[in-house]
Chains A and B, each alone.
Chain A
Amino acid sequence: MIKHYLKMIWKRRGKNAFLVAELILSFLVVFGVLAFAMKQFQKLKIPEGFITENIYNIYPSLNVDDLDSLEFKTKREQFKREILALEDIRNATFATEVTPYGNSNWSTGNGDGDENGFKYNTDYILCDQDFTDVWNTPIKEGNFFKEEDLVGKYVPIAVNQLFVDKFLKDTTALGFAFEMNGNDVIISGIFDHFKYQGKFGDETPMALVPISTRWNNVGLLTVATHANANEEIVKKMYDITARITKNFDFWIEKVEVVRKKKNKAAWIPIIGLFSLAGFLLINISMGLFGILRYNISRRKPEIGLRKAMGAHAGHIRSQFVGEMVILTSLAIIIGLIIAIQAPLLDVLQMENLIYWKAIFLTLVIIYGIVIACSIIPSSQAAAIEPAVSLHEE
């Protein structure tokens, strides 16, 4: 049966070549779009691990020559104290400019590992003791450091679960000490997530490190307000910042607004690609429909003859659908050979599971469209009366 179909397809190879080429390309395009989208959606499963409502970032321009000086520290503390004294302020924290949706990241590591064979590479944020409270990132094991903890030999830090999973699988993470940026640090707290590069960003290992006397270059004050605070609070923060920094070269942003911008930027390519792929598929299905309808009208005598020889309507229908399915399979085999290069060469850098899911979904879509487009014309063909079509001939 299939051999017979193949023979018929081969006889019309000139016309079928373009159809196959079109199907190969659409297979690849749909696969590409789905793989990209699924990879992006996969990232949505990991929660961000912080809140963004009623949070403001102040980027002050602290004009001090010596960042390690006492003057700088006093100024910083006065700044925070005055902000906290405002009405409706929940809490505030000093940190480096590595902040959610902020486009900057600091990372550190120890290259090939220390003498104990411990090797790490992590993003980090320098912050004060109120950081987890402001961002509402709960510490699930251990404690977040307090100002008074900073006197010992080891600097207490907090890391995320990914850090533990990646670098400290075989030991107890809590209480683990190592060297970081030239300081002896000890893990005193573990939190679940802090995915600061956006909903569609990758989660990276993350360490929250206190602003110790040695590391002082913080450029950001993050302020959390109560839900009932009105917009005037921004003006009040503005006035305080201007008075303390003695210049106007600073910037306050609402984190919720930045979050929306960042997410919009991530959605644009996904929606754009989907609409392009959708348009291509509609285009292709209408084309297929037209071609089949015409083919059937051309092959009326053949159908009439088959029916006269005793073929059922079902036979005719399955012949036309079958021919299309075989043609599609041919295209898909070629498409698969090309698509399979991606994981072999590891160009897409994605998990194998997503890759196979994307291929499977693509197969469903392409076969679905082809079958849907061929069913109506072939039903028409099956309804042809042998007497009529043979008479025409």
Chain B
Amino acid sequence: MLKNYLKIALKVLKRNRFYTFVSLFGISFTLMVLMLSTAFIDNELGANRPLSNKDRILVVSGMGMKKWQRETNTTIDTIYRNDSTILDTTIIETPIVGNSQSSSSSQLGYDFCKEHILPMQSPEMISLFVPQRQIEVYPNNARLELSTCMVDANYWKIFDFDFVEGQPFGESSIENQSHHTVLTEEAAGKYFGAQDSYLNRELVWGHDVYKIVGIIKEPNTSSFVVQGDAFMPVTNLPDHALNYGYGYFGGCNVALLAKDGASGESMTAELKQIENNTEMKDGFDILYLWEKDITDLYAWPIIGSQDTRSGNKFLMILFGVLILFLIIPTFNLINLNITRILERSSEIGVRKAFGARTDHLLIQFLFENIVLTFLGGLLGLVFTFFAMRWFNKAQILEGTHLEFNSTVFGISLLITLFFGICSGLFPAWKMAGKEIAVAIKNSRI
């Protein structure tokens, strides 16, 4: 039965080349864009290594401190004592809560994190890191720019990087301020030239020599939390880079990993408690910790702001745009299908006259359309491969590397099927329901 349908479908497609070309053009490009978008979203925001624990991670990447405006009340008491008057002046400054006089925001201080964040109870694990510090090194006297991420031992447990060789540095390296480093494969290649193994080689940064203990595969996502060419123990940073000496500010970020199965809400609640219970300093009156998940962090520079979490809004906008993009080609295909299917009203009439049921016809037409869509999908897949290669090679977005994996393939397949059914259902249903007499009369056999 299906074989028969397939035969008819291919014959029909061959018969009217113009429609087939127009349909295939529309389908393949639409599906290419959708596949590329799926690949993009999956690579950037999917739960892939090193972000396999993505849904359990909250990152506190910034904090704000505010001073309220002061209201000054001067009370003058006049006291008579020993026939002379003494003026007793008391000045009471009361903060007007809610009227901010000045506010500052930055990342978190190292000491603040040690004292207030690390003792937290609700997360399973807490990591403290200083992301994205630019440095330059001079291998063979040639200038090389590197981006460093200064991390602690837990960082490697929360983010499961793919180690090509070696392993991460541990707690003892952190405590001893060891000069150990983990490089990405690409950075190591740039520094040493292509080698089989980079392990135990030495990277010179200024006067310091860092021993390479591990080589990782470059992450596909551009999320700044896991981006960097070189990862080193955070304790190697000078104090002024960790604590700014003003308020509780500093250069640190914190990643919190929720307990297995637990939501981030308990961690958010505990952070709220820290906000309320921390003693203020440097004249500040209130403290805010801005925790975000990986998607929120991604949306932040695009639509978000420092103190709001806009990951969900971002995803909604993204899907809204994609659906809008899908609708126009779908309508176009529906229009084409309606006209194309009219050509076959004689066939429908004859088949109906010989007793074919409406749902059989419906399934047949739908099947034909799905065959067409899958042909388009196949073409789209080929286009996607080339587009991805070009995208990665031309470094359109730095740090973003597109890769085709099983998730992307599965979703692409679903999109193709969905597209085929959507664009074929209405015309097929309309045609299958035609009266025999009308169908036969209206056409030349």
Is A295 part of the contact surface with B, judged by Cβ < 8 Å?
Answer: yes
Q: Mark A269-304, 1 if CB is under 8 A from B, else 0.
A: 000000010011011101101110111001000000
**Other CB < 8 Å A-B pairs besides A22-B328, A284-B332, A293-B18, 7 of them?**
A29-B324, A249-B133, A282-B25, A283-B328, A287-B26, A287-B336, A295-B339
A248 x B143 contact (CB < 8 A): no
Q: Would you call B91 an interface residue if the criterion is a C-beta within 8 Å of the partner chain's C-beta atoms?
A: no
Partner pick for A280 among B329, B333, B334, CB 8 A cutoff = B329
Chain B neighbourhood of A287, CB < 8 A: 22, 26, 332-333, 335-336
Q: Which of B133, B141, B324, B332 contacts A22 (CB 8 A)?
A: B332
Q: Per a CB cutoff under 8 Å, which of B206, B339, B397 touches A247?
A: B206
Q: Is B409 an interface residue (CB 8 A)?
A: no
The answer on a CB contact under 8 Å between A18 and B26 is: no
A26 to B328, CA, bound (A): 7
CB pair A283 B339 closer than 8 Å: no
Residues B329 and A61 in contact, CB atoms below 8 Å apart: no
Interface segment, one of B233-241, B277-285, B411-419: B233-241
Residues 1-33 of chain B, each 1 if its beta carbon lies under 8 Å from chain A, else 0 = 000000000000000001100100110011001
A15–B338 CA distance with the chains assembled, in angstroms: 8
Check B339 against A251 for contact (C-beta < 8 Å): no
Please give, as numbers and ranges, the residues of chain A lying within 8 Å of B263 by CB-CB distance.
Answer: none
Given A248-B207, A295-B339, A238 and B136 touching (CB < 8 A)? yes
Given A29, A251, A261, A289, which contacts B134 in the complex, CB threshold below 8 Å?
A251
Whether A280 and B328, one on each chain, are in contact in the complex, defined by CB atoms closer than 8 angstroms, is yes
Contacts of A291 in B (CB 8 A): 335-336, 339
Is A242 located at the chain interface by the 8 A CB criterion? yes
Residues from chain B with a CB closer than 8 A to the CB of A348 are none
* CB-based contact B327/A25 at 8 Å: yes
| Cβ–Cβ contact A283 & B332, under 8 A | yes
Q: Quick one: given A276-B325, A284-B328, are A248 and B205 in contact (CB under 8 Å)?
A: yes
Seen from chain B, the residues whose Cβ lies within 8 Å of a Cβ on chain A are 18-19, 22, 25-26, 29-30, 33, 133-136, 138, 141, 143, 205-208, 237-238, 240-241, 245, 324-325, 327-329, 331-336, 338-340, 342-343, 396-398, 430, 444
Chain A contacts of B240 at CB under 8 A? 61, 63
User: Using Cβ atoms and an 8 Å threshold, which residues of chain B touch A298?
Assistant: 342
B218 to chain A, nearest CB (A): 19
- A253: which B residues are within 8 A, CB to CB? 134
Give the CA-CA distance A294 to B342 in the complex, in Å.
Answer: 9
B29 touches A283 (CB 8 A): yes
Interface size on A, residues (CB 8 A): 43
Q: Are the C-beta atoms of A249 and B238 separated by less than 8 Å? A: yes
Q: Select one of A235, A280, A289 contacting B143, CB under 8 A.
A: A235
Which 4 residue pairs across A and B have the least CB separation, nearest first?
A248-B206, A22-B331, A287-B332, A251-B134
A26 CA to B329 CA in the complex, in Å?
10
Docked Cα-Cα span, A248 to B18, in Å, equals 66
Interface residues of A in 234-261 (CB under 8 A from B): 234-235, 238, 242, 247-253, 261
- Flag if B29 contacts A279 (CB, 8 Å): yes
The verdict on A18 contacting B328 (CB below 8 Å), with A249-B237, A249-B241, A286-B22 known, is no
Which of A18, A25, A295, A392 has the largest number of chain B CB atoms within 10 A?
A18
Q: Report the separation of the CA atoms of residues A19 and B133 in the bound assembly, to the nearest whole angstrom.
A: 54
Nearest opposing residue in chain A for B340, CB measure:
A294
Q: Across the two chains, which residue of chain B brings its CB closest to A251? A: B134
* Chain B residue at minimum C-beta to C-beta distance from A294: B339
Asked if A21 is at the interface of the complex by the 8 Å CB criterion, the answer is yes
Return 7 A-B CB contacts under 8 Å, by A number: A19-B335, A22-B332, A61-B241, A248-B207, A268-B396, A287-B333, A290-B339
Q: A231 near B: Cβ within 8 Å?
A: yes
Instruction: Determine which of A26, A234, A249, A276 lies in contact with B135 in the assembled complex, contact meaning CB atoms within 8 Å.
Output: A249
